[in-house]
Structure 1
Amino acid sequence: MKSTPCPWRALVGAALVAALCSATGLARAAADAAHPDAYAIRIPVTPTADAPLQRLVLPAEVLVRLQSPGLADLRLFNGAGQPVPMALASVASARAPHDTVALPAYPILGAVGTAGPSALEGLSLRIEERQGQRVVQIESPAAAGSAAAQAVQGALLDARGVQQPVVRMALDADLPPGQPVTLRVHASTDLQHWRPLAETVLYRAEAAGPTASAAAAGAVPGRLGNEQIDLHRADLKGHYLRVTWGPAAVTLRGATLATTRGPAVRERTSARMAVPAPGGNPRELVLALPFATPVAALVITPPGSGNVLIPVRVLGRTHREQPWQLLASAVVYRMASGGTEQVSPAVELGGASVRELKIEVDAKAPGFAVAPGVTLQFEPAQLVFLASGPGPFTLAAGLPGAGAGASAFLPLASLVPGYQPGHEDTLPLALADVGRADIPAGPPADGAVVPAAAGGGGLVTRTAVLWGVLLAGVAALALMAWLLVRQTRAAGPQVPPAPDEIA
C-alpha cells in the first residue's frame, strides 16, 4: 500500500526555506558596503569648485552612527554611486597665542659633599638677602653648622605671579663640556613639599662651547638634547620652581616660561545624549551606546540647581556578557562663588570604544533623583578625498555588522602627491549639509543627539535576529509535526490484509 504524499510538509518546508533565503538576502543587502542605501545616514556634501583634493570634517551626526571603532563603515560616494578615494586624518590643533615670562634664578646653597638632587629631598628652603642678592638656604641642622663650606645645590625660581598655564620652559644655563647633565624641575607652594614636573638631559658637545642664553627659541649650537622643557600647560600660580642637577656643576642664571592665553588646544566634537530616567537604583545609571566610535570624554552635568558635588565612577563594556571595566573616576560638581558658577571639567575616557556606559555614584553621595545631563566628546577627525566622478557627493555612515569590516581608507602619502605632515590642513574644505541628512531607518535627525536607551536589558540586534530565526524554525518544525499527526489520525488505523486476499 503506497503512502499518500503530504502536501503540507512540502509547503511548510518550502516556506521555511524561502523565509531563510529572504532573511539572508536582506542581511546581505543591508551589509553591502558598496551600496549607499545600506547605510544608516546619508549626508549631502558640497565640494569646493575646481579642487581635486579636498578635506571634510566629520560632523557629530556621523560619529554617533558608526558601527566600527576604526570608522571602517564610512564612505563618500559620487553621483554615479561609486566610492571616491579617501584617507582619514586628524584635525590639527589650534595654536593658542603665547606670552613669555622671564624669571631670575636664586642659587640654593648647601653643605659641600651633599651635592645632587637627593640632598634636597625632604628638606625645606628659606630665602635670604645677602649683599643685595637673594640666595636660598637649606633649612636643616647640618647646614647651620657648616655655613663656611657651602656649594650650589640647585636654583629656585619664583613663579607665584604667573597667571596663565605654562606650556614650556627654557633654561639660561652654562653646562660643563663633554658631560650629560640631567636637570629636574619640581614645584612647591611652601618650599617644603615638592612635586615633580619634568626633566631633561642636556649635553655640551664641544669643550669650548658657547655660553649663550638657552632662553632663545632655537637650540644653542654645540648642545644636544631638548632645551625646551614641556610643562604640559601646568598651573604655576602661587608656586615656586626648583631646578636641580648632578653630579656636574651647572651655572643657572634664569629661565623663560612660555604661557598660553588660549583655551584648550583642540576643540572636540560633541553630541548630547538623551538620558533615560533613573531606574530603581539612584546610584547607578546605565546607558546603551548605539555606535562604536571611541569616546574621548564624558561631560556629566549634575541635576538640579545650587551647589552640587557628586563623586562618580565611569565603567564600560562592549557586550552584556562582559564584566564592567573601570574607565575613569572623577568628582562632578557645580559651585557658585562670587556671582560666577564653576562646573567640573570633562571626565577623560581615553578613547574607549564601548557599547554600554555605567555612571556609578559613590555610596556616601545621595545619588541621582533626576537624570543628569550627559554630553559625549569625540576627537575630531576629517576625510581627505579626491573629488572624482560626477556630483552630487554623499557622505554615508553606519553599516550594520561592520565591526570587523575592511576599511576603505588609503594612506595619506598615497593619496596626496608629495605629502608632508600637516599638508592636509591646507586643502580646501568641503561642507556636509547635515540639515538635509537622509536617515532611512529610525527617527529623523535631531541635531547631534544620541537617542535615550537604558542599558542592561533586552537583546542586541544581532542576537535578536538570531533568536527570531531560531524560533521561526522551531515553529515551522512544530507545525510540520502537528500536520503529520493530524493526517495520520485522519487516515485511521491500517488493517492488515486477510490470508485469502494474499492468495
Structure 2
Amino acid sequence: MNPLPRNLSVGLAAAALFLAAGASQAAADAGSPAAFAIRLPVALAADAPLQRVALPAEVLVRLQSPGYADLRLFNGAGQPVPMALAGVAAARAPETSVVLRAYPILGPAGTAGSAPLEGLSLRIEERQGQRVVRVNTPGTANAQANQVVRGALLDARSLRQPAARMALDADLPAGQPVTFEVQASKDLKTWRPLAETVLYRADAATAAPAAAGRLGTEQIDLHHAELQGHYLRVTWGDAAVNLRGATLVTSQGAVARERVSARLAVPPLAHPRELVLALPFATPVAALTVTPAGSNVLIPVRVLGREHREQPWSPLASAVVYKMAIGGQEQRSGPIELGGASVREIKIEADAKTPGFAAAPEVALQFEPVQLVFLASGPGPFTLAAGLPSPPAAASAYLPLASLIPGYQPPQENSLPLAQADVARADLPGGLPAGGALVPAAAASDGISTRSAVLWGVLLAGVGALALMAWLLLRQTRRADAPVPAAPADAS
C-alpha cells in the first residue's frame, strides 16, 4: 500500500481539526466573559425585569465590530441575557404654561369671515380700566354703534421661549363648527398666519349621552414659533364665540442628544501638515474635535479616513480649527462632523498655505449615544463585556425590540428603568486612565499592515505545506524506483 494517501489524509484531517478548533474557540470566546477586553459591573434597578443600560465611552473605544457584535451582558452564572440594541432619543426641554388674556376686537356688523380684517390695522383703547381692540378704518374709526366682536387679540410680547402649542378658553355655539385662525404681528398691521383649527360643540339637548361635548383639535400646534415682541390675533368669522383667553405652552423643543466623548492619545507630530492616526476600535465616529496647540491659531484642515493601508484615503470632512482669545475669553472650534464613519485610520491634513501644526493638537472623539435593552434573567451580579479580537456575526447577539418588549411602541425603550454600568470598577488590564476614557491611538506607518502580515503568513504557510508534500512525494517516488538488491547465492 502506498503511504502517500495516508500522509495526505492525515494532513487534511489535521487541517480540518485546526479549523474546527478555531471556530469552536471563537464561539467559546463570545460566550465567556473572560475573553472580552473590558468587563464592567452593572447595578440593576429594583423590581424591573426589562431594563436598559447606556454604553460608556470605555466600552465604545474597545469594540472591534462597527455593528457592536462583540458586546454581551452576562448574568452571575456566566450566561448571556436576551438583549436588543437601541439608540437614545433626544430629551425634551421642560415646558412652561403661560395664560394670556383675550382682548376683543370690535368690527362692523354684517361682514362675513375674517377677510374684512385683512390689511387693516388695529388700535387698542382703554375703556373703564379694560382694553378694547378696534379695527382702524376711516368708516368705522369713530363709530360707536353696530359694533360686534370679530376676534380677539393676545399680547405675547413678553414670551421668552418659543411657543409649542396653544389651547383656547372659549365658549362655542352649539351645533356649529367654528374655524379659528391664529396670526402674529409686531405692529398690529402686518400679520402672518401661524395655525388654524376647527372646534365643534354638540347641542346638549340633542346629543347622545355617549357623545363628546367638544370635537376637534383642542391643542393648536404653533411649531415652536418665536413670538417675543409679537401680538397674536385669533379670528372666527361670524360665529357667536366668547373667547376669554388662551394658554400657551412654551419650550425650547427637543434638546440635542449628548454625545459620548473620549480623548485621543495623540503621538508626537512627525509632519507639521499631516497627522495620521491608527484607531484601535471599529465603533462609528460621529464627530472629531481638533484643538491646535498654542494661542491665536487658525488652520483649515481636511479629515480623511480608510479601513486599512491598502485602501485609498476617502475624504470625510473639511473644517477650520482654531484657538484664539476674543474679548478676554478663549474661543475654540467646534466638532467636525464625520457622519458616523467607521474607519481604522484617520488623516488630518493642514492647508498647504498655512505653517500647519506647531505641535501635536488635542484630539477628541464623539460617538452617538447607544443603549442596551435587556431582560434581567438569571442570578446576579451582571457584567457588561466588550471587545473581542475576532467578533462574531453582527446579527447573532441582538433581538428586535418588538420581540424583547411585549406590545412594543416606539420609543417605549426610553421609559424603561436605567441600570448603571460601574466604570470605576471596570476589569481592564492596566486599569483605567484618569480623567475619562483615553484612546491609545498610534501613529499609522506606511509599513506592512497587520491584515497584510496575516495574509502573507497564511500564504507562506500554504507554500510551506505544498513544499513539504512535494518533498514527501519525491521521497516516496525515489524509494519506489530504487533497485531491489539480489538475494545471495546458496553456498551449497
TM-score normalised by L of structure 2: 0.62
Q: Give the 3 Å change call, closer, same or farther, for CA 256–167 of structure 1 in structure 2.
A: closer
The alpha-carbon deviation at position 74 of structure 1 amounts to 2.0
Q: Give the 3 Å change call, closer, same or farther, for CA 471–371 of structure 1 in structure 2.
A: farther
Q: Distance in 2 between matches of 1:180 and 1:363?
A: 63
The alignment yields a C-alpha RMSD, in angstroms, of 6.2
Work out whether residues 91 and 382 of structure 1, in 8 Å CA contact, stay in contact via their aligned partners in 2. Answer: no
Aligned to 1:35: 32
Aligned to 1:330: 319
Q: Which of 406, 409, 413 matches 2:399?
A: 409
Q: Distance in 1 between matches of 2:100 and 2:27?
A: 62
1:52 partnered with 2:49: yes
1:345 partnered with 2:338: no
Q: What is the one-letter code of the residue matched to 2:52?
A: R
1:289 partnered with 2:279: yes
Q: Which of 21, 25, 29 matches 1:25?
A: 21
Work out whether residues 278 and 345 of structure 2, in 8 Å CA contact, stay in contact via their aligned partners in 1. Answer: yes
Q: Distance in 2 between matches of 1:242 and 1:323?
A: 55
- Per-residue CA distance 1:372-414 (angstroms, 9 max, x = gap): 322333324243322324x332222223243644233342564
The alpha-carbon deviation at position 269 of structure 1 amounts to 1.9
The aligned length equals 444
Gaps of 5+ in 2: 102-114, 132-137, 140-152, 171-175, 187-191, 204-213, 238-244, 486-492
1:82 partnered with 2:79: yes
1:298 partnered with 2:284: no
Q: Distance in 2 between matches of 1:170 and 1:461?
A: 62
Q: What is the one-letter code of the residue matched to 2:73?
A: L
Aligned to 1:123: none
1:381 partnered with 2:386: no
Q: What is the one-letter code of the residue matched to 2:341?
A: A
Q: Give the 3 Å change call, closer, same or farther, for CA 332–15 of structure 1 in structure 2.
A: same
Q: Distance in 1 between matches of 2:401 and 2:363?
A: 39
Q: Distance in 2 between matches of 1:316 and 1:242?
A: 52
Q: Give the 3 Å change call, closer, same or farther, for CA 329–21 of structure 1 in structure 2.
A: same
Aligned to 2:490: none
Gaps of 5+ in 1: 105-115, 121-126, 134-146, 149-154, 189-195, 209-220, 498-503
- Per-residue CA distance 1:298-343 (angstroms, 9 max, x = gap): 24242223233333344444455366153x4433333323333333
Aligned to 1:437: 427
Q: What is the one-letter code of the residue matched to 1:381?
A: Q
Q: What is the one-letter code of the residue matched to 1:62?
A: V
Aligned to 1:359: 348
Between 90-99 and 396-405, report the one with greater CA deviation.
Answer: 90-99
SS at match of 1:467: helix
Q: Which of 267, 273, 288 matches 2:258?
A: 267
Equivalences for residues 176-195 of structure 1 within 5 A: none
Aligned to 1:227: 220
Q: Give the 3 Å change call, closer, same or farther, for CA 39–383 of structure 1 in structure 2.
A: same
Equivalences for residues 58-69 of structure 1 within 5 A: 58-69=55-66
Work out whether residues 51 and 376 of structure 2, in 8 Å CA contact, stay in contact via their aligned partners in 1. Answer: yes
Q: Give the 3 Å change call, closer, same or farther, for CA 287–413 of structure 1 in structure 2.
A: same
The alpha-carbon deviation at position 241 of structure 1 amounts to 8.2
Aligned to 2:206: none
The alpha-carbon deviation at position 452 of structure 1 amounts to 0.8
Larger radius of gyration: 2
SS at match of 1:333: strand
Work out whether residues 40 and 421 of structure 2, in 8 Å CA contact, stay in contact via their aligned partners in 1. Answer: no
Q: What is the one-letter code of the residue matched to 2:331?
A: Q
TM-score normalised by L of structure 1: 0.61
Between 58-67 and 317-326, report the one with greater CA deviation.
Answer: 317-326
Q: Distance in 2 between matches of 1:225 and 1:458?
A: 68
1:465 partnered with 2:454: yes
Equivalences for residues 472-491 of structure 1 within 5 A: 472-478=461-467
SS at match of 1:293: coil
Aligned to 1:214: none
Work out whether residues 54 and 387 of structure 1, in 8 Å CA contact, stay in contact via their aligned partners in 2. Answer: no
Aligned to 2:439: 450
The alpha-carbon deviation at position 78 of structure 1 amounts to 2.0
What percent identity do the matched residue pairs reach?
43
SS at match of 1:79: coil
Work out whether residues 92 and 422 of structure 1, in 8 Å CA contact, stay in contact via their aligned partners in 2. Answer: no
SS at match of 2:454: helix
